[in-house]
């Protein structure tokens, strides 16, 4: 994936005002900011709440005027972030990392789990400008946890597939089961897979793509502090590549050569934690 040059100005936080908040589910919100960072699908920003923390967040959308993020309120920082209102100021720096790529008029198979639905929507929106055709598989625990369904259903040249663990909507089971079925019956020689979601989902996508010899690009995420290659917290074994610079979007061969993929990750102090 193309590695970006990071200008000094992008490394320093600038404040942006929240223009709009949207509640997606009980734990998930989308914030739209009053500015753009010129981000591409798959890239991330470092989001700073003064006095609380600074965390990485995928760009859910950036149309050159406004940037959007979609987040789960899971811990100290994101629960504080969830209390923010329209008009509040938030620090953003970036955009950082690699982005998804495709060729004009290509067929893309997009696989999304969790907050991955947001960057997958951004990728879909941009790929349609290049005449691509899309199949998108979104998975969630249940119907009430599905994200971006309205936006994805409204896209042209797109077939949306839904999977829920409890069978409350679409396929009863995992989104990767839908992918497995699709790869056995439908894919064309031009198909590529783009995926963003939990690592156990990415592991299954990676195995399926490899077994069917379909090129894939996966968003491979680790604990990030600086976001631009300085601290080394996001390096992976054994290559030592920094996922904030050479990733997070990597081709499947690079992901599969990473021995810790699906096995363990490192926490804030660099200690190994098993999945
Ligand atoms: C490239 C990238 C893109 C991301 N995009 C999104 C997104 O679009 N939406 C979203 O909801 N979440 C996203 N995350 C995850 C998000 O950064 C964490 O959920 C968030 O940092 C949790 O912080 P907390 O203080 O609320 O919770 P904590 O209780 O501190 O952490 C909960 C869990 O979040 C993870 N986490 C915490 N801090 C970091 C960090 N600095 N870097 C990476 N992981 C961390 C750890 O796995 C931790 O166990 C992304 C992570 C990465 C690396
Ligand atoms: S987060 Fe610091 S090197 Fe990647």
HEC string for the chain: CCCCCCCHHHHCCEEEEEEEEEECCCCEEEEEECCCCCCCCCCEEEEEECCCEEEEEECCEECCCCEEEEEECCCHHHHHHCCCCCCCEEEEEEEECCCCCCCCCCEEEEEEEHHHHHHHHHHHHHHHHCCCEEEEEEEECCHHHCCCHHHHHCCCCEEEEEEECCCCCCEECCHHHHHHHHHHHCCCCCCEEEEECCHHHHHHHHHHHHHCCCCEEEECCCCCCCCCCCCCCCECCCCCCECCCCCCEEEHHHHHCCCCCCCEEECCCCCEEEC
Q: Answer yes or no: do 173 and 149 share one domain.
A: yes
Does the CB atom of residue 230 touch ligand 2 within 6 A?
Answer: yes
Q: Answer yes or no: do 125 and 248 share one domain.
A: yes
* CA 56 to ligand 1: nearest atom: 17
Six token digits for residue 74: 């899971």
pLDDT computed for residue 199 by the predictor: 97
Q: How far is the CA of 198 from the centre of ligand 2 (A)?
A: 20
Q: What is the pTM of this model?
A: 0.96
Q: What b/e sequence results for 34-51 when a residue is b if at least 16 CB atoms lie within 10 Å of its CB, and e otherwise? A: eebbebbbbbbbbbbbee
Mutate which of 43, 223, 224 for ligand 2? The one with the most ligand atoms within 8 Å of its CB, which is 224
Q: Answer yes or no: do 266 and 141 share one domain.
A: yes
Domain span holding position 163: 107-274
Closest CA to ligand 1's atom 42: 223
The CATH number of whichever domain residue 205 belongs to comes to: 3.40.50.80
Does the CB atom of residue 254 touch ligand 2 within 6 A?
Answer: no
Q: How many domains would you assign to the chain?
A: 2
Q: Answer yes or no: do 76 and 180 share one domain.
A: no
Q: Answer yes or no: do 60 and 156 share one domain.
A: no
Kindly state whether residue 1 falls inside one of the protein's structural domains: no
The CATH number of whichever domain residue 34 belongs to comes to: 2.40.30.10
Query: What is the Cα–Cα distance from 105 to 109, expressed in whole angstroms?
Result: 13
CA geometry: angle 99, 101, 107, nearest 5 deg: 140
Mutate which of 40, 56, 224, 244 for ligand 1? The one with the most ligand atoms within 8 Å of its CB, which is 56
Ligand nearest to the backbone CA of 74: 1
In a structure prediction context, what are the per-residue pLDDT tens digits for the chain, which is 275 residues long?
777 777 777 888 899 999 999 999 999 999 999 999 999 999 999 999 999 999 999 999 999 999 999 999 999 999 999 999 999 999 999 999 999 999 999 999 999 999 999 999 999 999 999 999 999 999 999 999 999 999 999 999 999 999 999 999 999 999 999 999 999 987 788 899 999 999 999 999 999 999 999 999 999 999 999 999 999 999 999 999 999 999 999 999 999 999 999 999 999 888 899 98
Kindly state whether residue 131 falls inside one of the protein's structural domains: yes
Residue ending a domain, choose from 73, 96, 119: 96
Closest CA to ligand 1's atom 45: 223
């Amino acid at each position: 994936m193309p590695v970006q040059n990071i200008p000094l100005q992008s490394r320093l936080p600038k404040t942006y005002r929240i223009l709009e908040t949207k509640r997606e589910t009980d734990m998930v919100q989308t914030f739209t900011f009053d500015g753009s960072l010129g981000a591409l699908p798959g890239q991330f920003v470092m989001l700073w709440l003064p006095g609380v923390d600074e965390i990485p967040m995928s760009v859910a959308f950036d149309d050159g005027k406004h940037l959007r993020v979609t987040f789960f309120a899971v811990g100290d920082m994101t629960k504080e972030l969830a209390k923010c209102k329209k008009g509040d100021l938030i620090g953003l720096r970036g955009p950082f990392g690699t982005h998804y790529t495709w060729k004009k008029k290509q067929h893309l198979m997009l696989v999304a789990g969790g907050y991955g639905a947001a960057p997958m929507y951004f990728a879909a929106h941009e790929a349609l400008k290049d005449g691509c055709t899309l199949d998108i598989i979104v998975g969630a625990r249940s119907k009430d946890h599905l994200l971006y369904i309205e936006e994805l259903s409204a896209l042209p040249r797109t077939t949306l597939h839904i999977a829920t663990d409890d069978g409350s909507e679409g396929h009863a089971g995992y989104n990767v089961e839908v992918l497995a079925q699709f790869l056995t019956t439908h894919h064309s020689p031009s198909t590529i897979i783009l995926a963003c979601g939990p690592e156990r989902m990415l592991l299954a996508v990676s195995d399926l793509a490899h077994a069917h010899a379909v090129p894939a690009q996966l968003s491979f995420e680790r604990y990030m502090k600086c976001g631009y290659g300085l601290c080394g917290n996001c390096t992976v074994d054994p290559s030592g590549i920094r996922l904030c610079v050479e990733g997070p979007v990597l081709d499947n061969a690079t992901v599969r050569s990473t021995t810790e993929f699906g096995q363990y990750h490192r926490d804030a102090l660099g200690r190994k934690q098993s999945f």
